[in-house]
Each structure stands twice: as C-alpha cells, then as structure tokens.
Chain A
Amino acid sequence: GAVVSQHPSWVICKSGTSVKIECRSLDFQATTMFWYRQFPKQSLMLMATSNEGSKATYEQGVEKDKFLINHASLTLSTLTVTSAHPEDSSFYICSAPDAGGGNEKLFFGSGTQLSVL
C-alpha cells in the first residue's frame, strides 16, 4: 500500500522556538494532505488541509500564523509550529488520500510527538 513518511518522530524544543514537521508521500502523488492534532486518548482533530500549489485551508479556531503549512510539491507538505509554547505540545499527524482504484482511503504518517519545555 501507499506509504506516508513523517519526520521527525518526536521533538523536544524550548518555548519560543519554531519546529518544522515534514510529511512525504513516498510512492504516490498527493495533491492534498491533511494535518491533524491528537491529544492523549482523544480523537484526531483536523487542523488544516494542505493543497499543492495553493494556500492551505485551516479549520475554525486554528491560527494560520501559528501553524504554517507549505505544500510545495506533490509529495511534500510541511507544518511549522512557530514560536512554540507548552500548550502546543501534542501529537501531530499527517495523512494523504490515495485515490488509486477509486477507494480514497487515508494513509497516515507515523506522527510527531512535540514537547515544548
């Protein structure tokens, strides 16, 4: 099946620094990627939809200046958490739909655990 690679798997940073998370579709092209945030034992909260070559679509309540999304190619989307604070600590996970065979299932990256000190 399709593979989505997410990097890094975990990161610890100081408050005020920025952190970039990469999400790559390895064997298929993804014009769209979704970024989710997940708190422990909770569901995945859709943050934004990343669109190749255009601006990302953010969900209500998600600060676009805080969570910068870039989707510069058909295989790479990045999420940058700017000026991170402890409340930004969370599990961030990306996914991309693969419409091969008419079945648009989501393939997920392995996630990034962000801890802001």
Chain B
Amino acid sequence: GQQVMQIPQYQHVQEGEDFTTYCNSSTTLSNIQWYKQRPGGHPVFLIQLVKSGEVKKQKRLTFQFGEAKKNSSLHITATQTTDVGTYFCAGLGGNQFYFGTGTSLTVIP
C-alpha cells in the first residue's frame, strides 16, 4: 500500500537555527500538503503543492515538491519557539490523503 515516510523523526534545534524535514512517497502523488500539529492539538493545514518542482514560501517556511512528485521538503529558516510541533506531509493518492510519519520539532530557547 501507499507509504509516506518522513525524516528525521525528531529534531532538536537551538532557536535561530534552520530546520528541514523530508517527505518521501513510495508512489507518485497528485499533490502534497503540509500540516502542523502543536502538542495536544490537531493538524492545521499549511500549504499545498501541485506542480512538479514547485517551490512555495510562507515567511520563514519554504516548501518544495520534487520533480518526480514523489518527494517534498519543508525548510524553516531561523527557527523560533513558536515553530514547535510536529510537521506532517500528506500525499493525495487516488482520493485519499496519506500522512507521512511526521517530524517532531523542538526548539530550544
């Protein structure tokens, strides 16, 4: 079945350092979405990428969709304590969303 893996599983960074999480799918995706889940909360939509090679930016966050539409990355520049949470990618395969394994980010002040 569909598998979406993310690395790393956990990441601890000092405030101000950069952070990147990578998402890899076993199959080609129609699109990829990124969500953030704060501790104790529910996932919140961040962005969607549709086109091969697409790059989108949201302030300090940069999202990329691979050329083969099987991988994606999220890069945060100069992390802040408000960035703490788990970041999930979600790939649309068929008519279902499959979530990646998630990367839990801890930012040390």
Contact = CB atoms under 8 A, between A and B. Distances in A.
A103 interface: yes
Interface residues of B, number: 22
Given A43-B102, A49-B96, A105 B48 contact: yes
Say which size band chain A's interface belongs to.
20 to 34
A36 B43 CA distance: 11
B42 A42 contact: no
Interface in B73-109: 86, 88, 90, 92, 95-102, 104
Interface of B, helix, strand, loop or mixed by DSSP: strand
B32 to A, nearest CB: 12
B21 interface: no
Contacts of A110: 41-42
A49 B93 CA distance: 13
B4 to A, nearest CB: 9
A99 B46 CA distance: 15
Interface string A88-108: 000001010100000111111
Given A49-B95, A97-B97, A108-B43, 10 more contacts: A41-B86, A43-B99, A43-B101, A46-B99, A60-B1, A95-B97, A105-B33, A105-B48, A106-B97, A110-B42
